[in-house]
Amino acid sequence: MGWLTKIFRGSTYKISEGQRQSRPAEEAVWNEPSSSTVVTDVLSEFDNEDIDRAIALSLSEEQRKSKGTGKDLHLDEDEQLARAIHESLNVESPPCARDNGSPPHARDNSSPPHARENSSHPRARENGIANGGNSIQHSPFMFSSGFRTCAGCHSEIGHGRFLSCMGAVWHPECFCCHACSQPIYDYEFSMSGNHPYHKTCYKERFHPKCDVCKQFIPTNMNGLIEYRAHPFWLQKYCPSHEVDGTPRCCSCERMEPRESRYVLLDDGRKLCLECLDSAVMDTTECQPLYLEIQEFYEGLNMKVEQQVPLLLVERQALNEAMEGEKTGHHHLPETRGLCLSEEQTVSTILRRPRMTGNKIMEMITEPYRLTRRCEVTAILILYGLPRLLTGSILAHEMMHAWLRLKGYRTLSPEIEEGICQVLAHMWIESEIMAGSSSNAASTSSSSSSSISSKKGGRSQFERKLGDFFKHQIESDTSVAYGNGFRSGNQAVLQYGLKRTLEHIWLTGTWPF
């Protein structure tokens, strides 16, 4: 099963001179910071020459006034201009940008990033200003009351400083972070949709965290947030965990989080606590499930008449038995079940092992001599797997046994493994349907001796686990198991199981 690689994408915005200019993001990236803060001051409207001229004009007009020239109207206008300029010289200049480590970056993510294959989303640097970053303009205009309206409180902005950003003007105390509701005094900020955020608040809310180490997922060499995700569980994690020895559950394939510990089986496999909850650990414990599978086959008019031994074994015993078997197809990289036709001695698990801490201890096994009374000598299943996975493997191997006992010709791997996967898939579907219906009366869910029944019904995780095992069969990429299942399932849906098996008996191929 392939894992997904996720990279985030977004669009950038630039606010300049109080006006926002939209620019689409570069292909699969957000550019790193390059713009600077824009701060405007009313004094920029005047240069030194204009100021000197106005002051000189004012002094000249005062001399004319003492002589009584009769031009009082012009005198009043020039004197007002000089006073306005003089007052503007005493206005406090706008403060410099706060040196608080790292101003927030301007970004627009209309919604939190969703994991999808080959998608990208920008990641702002920890320090600096993002290209196209949102800037706040601090302007000490001294206009009369009512000249502008605050976009936050919708009241008039009188004399004093105000902010110009997001295509509007604000009182400094009205421009607040959407997350913490505190004013944003920094010159750079982040955005999601139409809401502004402090950079730290934005990161805490939208920057993805690793489900394994619980840290913010770092950027790759291109400055993008990149992580891996399981295609079913959508567990996201840093790419480094694929090579740093972080273990996976041998059943559900989820990575082990740092705050929990998986159970270590004696053959080196690791099992999460949720899968351990319904794990089948010895041969005796598996017998009730074996009876359920036999009843399932009887319900399909495919009863297995011969008594075929079922044994739960360790990984080493399963591999040794596979080497001693002359025929059969095996699903690499690990075989979890075998239908044997040869006589040999197999080491089977006699009693459920004891768990000490997070380790399985005191495994008790005994040799079991297989004798050939029919075409099938035994079915072997790997121990320590959840009930639903154990059952699906058992349903698969039971189909191998049925084909051999009914005298089917030697089939190609795609045909034989494909039809066996169809039966495994059918059994899991029956279990899922039985578990989702309170009035289900199918034999696969009514047995009082099953592990799930002993625990008072199937847990929510076990139902989800059933969906995962069904998904595994459906999405298998191998030729024999994956393509074989999809072809076999199509044939059964189109012609029915009985007609499909009859066609395989006659031709050794699918009925299409």
Q: 293-312: buried (b, 16+ CB within 10 Å) or exposed (e) per residue?
A: bbebbeeeebebeeebbbbb
Name 491's bridge partners.
none
| pLDDT tens by residue, 29-55 | 333 333 333 333 333 333 444 444 544
Please say if the pLDDT value at position 138 is more than 50: no
List, in sequence order, every beta strand (DSSP E) within 317-459.
Answer: 337-340, 345-351, 354-356, 359-361, 364-369, 378-382, 385-386
268: left (phi over 0), alpha (psi -120 to 50) or beta: left
- Four-CA torsion 389, 327, 378, 411, nearest 10 degrees: 70
- Rounded distance, CA 196 to CA 215, Å? 24
Q: How confident is the model at residue 331 (pLDDT cuts 50, 70, 90)?
A: low
| Residue predicted with more confidence, 333 or 485 | 485
Please say if the pLDDT value at position 130 is more than 50: no
| Residue predicted with more confidence, 32 or 411 | 411
- Rounded distance, CA 333 to CA 159, Å? 75
Cβ–Cβ < 8 Å for 304, 310: no
Residue 460: what pLDDT? 86
Mean pLDDT over each residue of the chain, to the nearest integer: 74
The candidate with the shortest Cα–Cα distance to 497, out of 443, 423, 445, is 423
- Rounded distance, CA 15 to CA 478, Å? 53
Residue 415: what pLDDT? 96
Cβ–Cβ < 8 Å for 153, 175: no
The candidate with the shortest Cα–Cα distance to 246, out of 209, 212, 210, is 212
Cβ–Cβ < 8 Å for 257, 250: no
Cβ–Cβ < 8 Å for 139, 159: no
Residue 42: what pLDDT? 33
Q: Is the pTM of this model over 0.75?
A: no
Domains of the chain, residue spans: 11-40+95-209, 42-89, 275-507
Cβ-defined contacts of 426-434 (< 8 Å, 24+) = 426/395, 427/293, 427/296, 427/391, 427/392, 427/395, 428/388, 428/391, 428/392, 428/395, 428/466, 428/469, 428/470, 428/473, 429/470, 430/296, 431/388, 431/391, 431/466, 432/463, 432/466, 432/467, 432/470
Name 422's bridge partners.
none
- Rounded distance, CA 38 to CA 138, Å? 8
Please say if the pLDDT value at position 201 is more than 80: yes
| Residue predicted with more confidence, 88 or 346 | 346
Handedness of CA 67, 68, 74, 76 (dihedral sign): positive
| pLDDT tens by residue, 210-222 | 999 999 998 888 8
- Rounded distance, CA 202 to CA 3, Å? 28
Cβ–Cβ < 8 Å for 236, 6: yes
Query: Rounded to the nearest 5°, which phi and psi values hold at 273?
Result: -65, -30
- Provide mean pLDDT across the span 272-279: 93
Cβ–Cβ < 8 Å for 409, 417: no
| Residue predicted with more confidence, 265 or 105 | 265
Residue 478: what pLDDT? 94
| Residue predicted with more confidence, 369 or 114 | 369
| pLDDT tens by residue, 280-314 | 999 999 999 999 999 999 999 999 988 899 999 99
| pLDDT tens by residue, 338-353 | 999 888 899 999 888 8
Residue 80: what pLDDT? 53
The candidate with the shortest Cα–Cα distance to 224, out of 4, 37, 2, 5, is 5
Please say if the pLDDT value at position 90 is more than 90: no
DSSP result, 329-355: ---SS---EEEE-S--EEEEEEEPPEE
- Rounded distance, CA 136 to CA 196, Å? 11
Q: How confident is the model at residue 447 (pLDDT cuts 50, 70, 90)?
A: very low
Residue 87, CB-side half-sphere exposure with 13 Å CA sphere: 11
Residue 76: what pLDDT? 53
| Residue predicted with more confidence, 40 or 354 | 354
Domain 11-40+95-209 CATH superfamily: Cysteine Rich Protein (2.10.110.10)
Residue 26: what pLDDT? 31
Place of tokens 């502004």: 196
Name 158's bridge partners.
none
- Provide mean pLDDT across the span 242-268: 91
**What three-state secondary structure class fits 310?**
strand
Q: How confident is the model at residue 140 (pLDDT cuts 50, 70, 90)?
A: very low
Which residues 6+ apart lie within 8 Å of 427 measured at CB? 293, 296, 391, 392, 395, 444
pLDDT above 70 coverage of the chain, percent: 65
DSSP 195: E
- Rounded distance, CA 148 to CA 167, Å? 13
- Provide mean pLDDT across the span 418-427: 97
Please say if the pLDDT value at position 492 is more than 90: yes
